[in-house]
Amino acid sequence: MKRKITLKQIAKELDVSISTVSKSLRNSLEIGEETRLKVQAFAKFYNYKPNNIALSLKNRKTKSIGIIIPEIVHHFFSTVINGVEQVANEHGYSVVICLSDDSFDKEVLNMEMLANGSIDGFIMSLSKETQFKGDFHHITEVINQGMPVVMFDRVTNDILCDKVIIDDKAAAYEAVQSLIDNGRKKIALVTTVDYVSVGKLRTDGYEKALLDNGIPFNEDLIIKIEDVDTCEITISELLHARAFDAVFAVNELFAVTIIKTASKMGLKVPEDLAVIAFTDGIISKYSTPSITTVSQSGEKMGNKAAKMLIERLEAEHDEDEDENENYTTEVIETHLIKRESTD
């Protein structure tokens, strides 16, 4: 059985550009007869079937951008969407938003639906299940057909594309260091499971800050939470043990749960327990006490992701250009916003 082949693979095999392959398959007279026939014969031999993605790329620009996010409850993702929309609207693009609900299957379905001629390119953050499975075939297929993808926040090194991230490890280090500078020695970490890339990086930053300050790394002080809905029970168990005097939480939902649970137990924040969280959202600002946070600058991240995607979409491609794309990873700066939950 012949292997399934893509436009990108045909271009590589014949040492021509993707654009040349696409035009040859449409029998465009812009391409010389010899090249056209060679491309068509090669495609026929491997039973290449052009799909709607390829057809939409050069012929039917939709002026629409697709965004796929894992969840909407986190304030961070809504700020990213705002940032994308600002830049998209300035350039005459509309935005279509889909939610994966941290499901691999739903992420795949969303991409297939949007790539079927509905949009020109993707901005996306990977679902938990996708990162757990390590299966990125749906993204690879879209990119191989020439549709640009920009990843943000939850990204993978297994896919070559433009990315927008923060330095999660450095941001976590700064947060934990600030707790240590205020005299806290027994610092717990409430984080996600390791297969979520940002959770792993933030854990690494937490560990490095402790070790750099001569504080032993104690795995018993790390709580890995998979489901936000059941995290209160796990956090309560940790608080009852009274084994720590500070908590670094990788998101504000975890942080507010910690504060609520501590209050029920008669613990005062920050006197008995200091709390720092990632994501500077509405919850952090209006919680009692208000929560010290690492600002992820979601709006800036969205702005940058949209600019990178639109630059790809509107770039003029030379017929003989090198197909080895120069992808970039942009790192957005973070900063600590101090509030009532720390000293």
**CA-based max dimension of the chain:** 81
Structure tokens at 224: 């890995």
* CATH number assigned to the domain covering 168-297: 3.40.50.2300
Fold equal for 57-165+298-332 and 168-297: yes
Tell me what pLDDT residue 318 has. 41
CB 145 within 8 Å of CB 121: no
Instruction: Give Cα separations from 183 to 175, 213, 240, 271, 316 (angstroms).
Output: 13, 11, 22, 12, 56
Q: Amino acid identity, residue 256?
A: V
Helix (H) or strand (E) run with residue 282 in it:
helix 282-286
CB 339 within 8 Å of CB 284: yes
pTM score of the predicted model: 0.77
Tell me what pLDDT residue 83 has. 98
Residue 221: how many other CB atoms lie within 10 Å: 21
CA angle 66, 127, 254 (to 5 degrees): 115
Q: Where are the domains of the chain?
A: 7-50, 57-165+298-332, 168-297
Does the 57-165+298-332 domain belong in CATH 3.40.50.2300? yes
CA distance 284 to 158: 34
> Among all chains, which residue has been given the structure tokens 């060679």?
38
CA angle 170, 123, 75 (to 5 degrees): 60
Helix (H) or strand (E) run with residue 94 in it:
strand 94-99
> Among all chains, which residue has been given the structure tokens 């957005």?
332
> Among all chains, which residue has been given the structure tokens 């200091």?
274
* Residue partners of 157: CB distance under 8 A and separation at least 6: none
Instruction: Give Cα separations from 149 to 35, 71, 163, 197, 332 (angstroms).
Output: 29, 19, 9, 18, 18
> Among all chains, which residue has been given the structure tokens 């080895």?
324
In order along its 343 residues, the chain shows pLDDT tens digits of: 455 677 788 888 999 987 788 778 878 788 899 999 999 899 888 877 665 455 545 556 889 999 999 998 788 999 999 999 999 999 999 999 999 999 999 999 999 999 988 999 999 999 999 999 999 999 998 998 889 999 999 999 999 999 999 999 999 999 999 999 999 999 999 988 877 788 889 999 999 999 999 999 999 899 888 776 777 888 888 888 777 899 999 989 899 999 999 999 999 999 999 999 998 888 999 999 999 999 999 999 999 999 999 999 988 544 444 444 689 999 999 999 999 999 8
Structure tokens at 91: 């350039």
